Structure 1
């Protein structure tokens, strides 16, 4: 085993143990939580090693990096998630490889994704990004729509051709009433998810939690956690 593969395997093992322990603490089954490895800034070679180690879900946040990486790894049995703020002029490219777009926060983006999905003759999963630091239906500082705008945006996704409403996503706010309180933020997301599922029962995916707060997300009920640094190491740009 190469040094890098051994490093990734060890990191992956530690993260898996953290998820298992969090599930046990919360009285949940381990299979209820899916790990998404965020591979931004890391090369396609790392994605290949992760696939060899059993990872099936990977995420990127910048199309200019994600598109060539996804193309290079097109032969792998991976599910690609796009998690960054998405501009409409990047939608056609993103729709060529992303299986799920987790950062949908406005009607204009829904319309653009629908057109692209139809044009590519494929279906894309969509998560509505909820901004817990925003009032009503305003957009948050890190993207996302305020809690008051979720229901209306969900209807737009559900009615859009080529799109599938999978659920909700959030990033723990850095400011506002949930600053430093990730568990409270994730509990709030679960409340919004419960209301959403009354009208859209299949929209049961809840993406929350990252390297620093995945335990809080699992405790709250998240179905997917997005982990980058704890698996791949400190981002190259931060070294």
Structure 2
């Protein structure tokens, strides 16, 4: 067994244990392997061990990988900040976008999604901790934004994403994840049908799953410490 395969096995065991602790059925949480800064060989090693979903943040780095691995049957998620001038390649090449925070970005993705491809799965990023340096819309802005995005052709609004501030305060962290779940529930009560909460990473996936995460984004626990020179 390769080191990456062993790491994947360990992460999947953590996810299964967290689901059991939260009385959630197994299989209700998708593991998204964050492969930014890692080469194609690492992605193929993870894929050979059964991993199918991969997350990338930097277009210049990601597009050659997507092209080289086009026949590998993988699902690609764009999880980084998205600027207006970068929407076209994301709309053309990715299956998911987790980081939509403005209607303008969603409108561009909608207009640029090829008609030959299925609708682009979209999550709206919410800044649950209110950090000025962090991407994401404010919780108070999510209701009108979600309803506007839900009407756009070529997109399928799936849910919400967040990256809380780093903290060792378990109660605070749990409250951040709980807020995202509450916002998702309010949106569904208003007539939408969202099924996705993208939250939780290597260090806090158990807490996120306890609060309803359906996608956890894990990089370090699978691939190791990133090579900073490649970032």
Pick the TM interval, shorter chain: over 0.9
Q: Distance in 2 between matches of 1:222 and 1:179?
A: 16
Indicate which of 108, 124, 128 corresponds to 2:124: 128
In the other structure, the counterpart of 2:154 is 162
Shift of 1:181: 2.5
Is 1:23–2:19 an aligned residue pair?
Answer: yes
| Kept after mapping to 2: 8 A contact 1:125/1:163 | yes
| Kept after mapping to 1: 8 A contact 2:91/2:114 | no
| Kept after mapping to 2: 8 A contact 1:103/1:144 | yes
In the other structure, the counterpart of 1:144 is 136
1:151-204 superposed Cα distances (whole Å, 9 cap, x missing partner): 1111121111111110000011248xx898221110111111111112344311
Runs of 5+ consecutive residues of structure 2 not aligned to the other structure: none
Indicate which of 67, 73, 91 corresponds to 1:77: 73
> Alignment RMSD, CA only?
2.0
| Kept after mapping to 2: 8 A contact 1:132/1:140 | no
Shift of 1:107: 1.1
Shift of 1:104: 0.3
Does the C-alpha gap of structure 1 residues 11 and 238 become closer, same or farther in structure 2, counting only changes over 3 Å? farther
In the other structure, the counterpart of 1:111 is 107
Is 1:233–2:205 an aligned residue pair?
Answer: no
| DSSP-derived class of the 1:9 partner | helix
Runs of 5+ consecutive residues of structure 1 not aligned to the other structure: none
Which aligned pairs between 1:8-47 and structure 2 lie closer than 5 A?
A: 8-47=4-43
In the other structure, the counterpart of 2:199 is 208
Runs of 4+ in 1 over 3 A off after TM superposition: 118-122
Q: TM-score scaled to structure 2, two decimals?
A: 0.93
| Kept after mapping to 2: 8 A contact 1:211/1:228 | yes
Q: Distance in 2 between matches of 1:233 and 1:200?
A: 41
- Larger deviation, residues 100-109 vs 21-30: 21-30
Q: Distance in 1 between matches of 2:223 and 2:229?
A: 13
